Amino acid sequence: MNWFSGIVVYIIVWWLVFFMMLPLGVRSARESGVDPGDGNDPGAPARPRIGLKALAATGIAALLWAGIYWIIVSDFITFRGG
C-alpha cells in the first residue's frame, strides 16, 4: 500500500467510524428537559459532544487502519492471483 492509498483508506475508515458514533449518548432537548427555544427542533441534541466523538473516531480509525494495513501488507490474505 502506498502512502496515498493509506491516507484514502484512513479517511474512509474515519468517516465510517465517526458516523457510527454520532447517535451514541445523544439525548434530545425534550428528553433532557431543556427548552429548545423558538425556531429550534425539540428533537435536536441538547449536547452532541462532536469534538469528543471526533477524537474517539480518530483513535478507533487508527487502530482499524493498522489492522487493514497489516492484512494488506502481510501474506495473511492475498489479493493477487498466482
Residue pLDDT, tens place only, 57-76: 999 999 999 999 998 888 77
13-72 pLDDT, tens digit per residue, is 999 999 999 999 988 877 888 777 787 887 888 888 999 999 999 999 999 999 999 988
Q: Own/partner pairs for 4-7, CB < 8 Å, 24+ apart?
A: 6/65, 6/69
Q: What residue has cell string 489479493?
A: 79
Would you list the domain boundaries of the chain?
3-30+44-73
What local confidence, expressed as pLDDT, does residue 68 receive? 93
What local confidence, expressed as pLDDT, does residue 63 receive? 98
pTM as predicted: 0.81
Q: What amino acid occupies position 44?
A: A
pLDDT at position 79 over 70: no
